[in-house]
Structure 1
Amino acid sequence: MLTIALEQAAFRAYHGLYPEETVIGNDFLLDIAVRIPGSVAIEELTDTVNYQGIYEIAKEIMAQPKPLLEEVVYALSDTLKARYPAIRHSTVTLRKLNPPMGASIRNSLVSLEKEY
């Protein structure tokens, strides 16, 4: 298997249950890794998953506010698979930095791993 990934893509987004999160927003870090069959050498961009394309999908999904981070990672995973049918495995991890919980917490995290 061949892995293509983006690590710690930073976004300012408006996901969250609390009203202030939808107004003020939060900082997020996103990791996305996908695997495709890797039995032959890749010589053309059309034979792989373009990580610029992964970023464009992430940017699109992160711009759509959701109350739950779980909704965001599922939407990312589903959209990646729809756009790149060769994907056989994906891991999408979303971190909300400094979540508004009244405590000193670096980040909350939701991660979804799928086999196709």
Structure 2
Amino acid sequence: MLTIALEQIRFRAFHGLYPEEQVIGNDFLLDVYVTIADTTPVDDLSDTVNYQDIFTVVKAVMAVPQPLLEQVVEDISQTIRERYPRIKKTVVTLKKLNPPMGAEIRNSMVSLERAY
């Protein structure tokens, strides 16, 4: 199996259940891993998954505010899989930095792993 990943993509986005999060926004870190069947040798971009395309998907999904992070990771995973049907597995992890909870918390996190 071959894994292609983008790690620690930083976004300012407006996801959150509370109205102030949808106005003020939050900082997020996102990791995306996709796995395809081993296609050795990989001589051409068509033999793999273009991580620039993954970033394009992630950026578009992150631009649409959602009340729950669970829906954000689901949308990212599903959209990437639709674009690349040969993907066997996705892992999408989204961290909300400094979540507004009245305490010092580094981040909250939602992670979705899907095998196809």
Q: 1:60: which partner in 2?
A: 60
Match of residue 48 from structure 2: 48
| 1:33-80 Cα deviation digits (max 9, x unpaired) | 000011421111011100111100000000000000000000000001
2:94–2:111: 8 Å Cα contact kept in structure 1? yes
Distance 2:18 2:49 in 1: 36
Cα distance in 1 for residues equivalent to 2:97 and 2:19: 17
Amino acid across the alignment from 1:56 = T
Is there any run of 5+ residues in structure 1 with no aligned partner, and where? none
Which sections of structure 2, spanning at least 5 residues, go unmatched? none
Task: State the number of aligned residues.
Answer: 116
Secondary structure at 2:86 match in 1: coil
CA 114–32 in structure 1, closer or farther in 2 if over 3 Å, else same: same
2:88 partner amino acid: R
Report the residue type matching 2:60 in the other structure: E
TM-score between the two structures when normalised by the length of structure 2:
0.98
Runs of 4+ aligned structure 1 residues displaced above 4 Å come to none
Counterpart of 2:112 in structure 1 is 112
Could you say what the CA RMSD is over the residues aligned between the two structures, in angstroms?
0.6
Q: Residue 110 of structure 1 aligns to which amino acid in structure 2?
A: V
Identity of aligned residues (%): 63
Q: TM-score under structure 1 normalisation?
A: 0.98
Amino acid at match of 1:29: L
In the TM superposition, what are the counterparts of 1:93-108 in structure 2 within 5 Å? 93-108=93-108
Q: Which residue of 2 aligns with 1:80?
A: 80
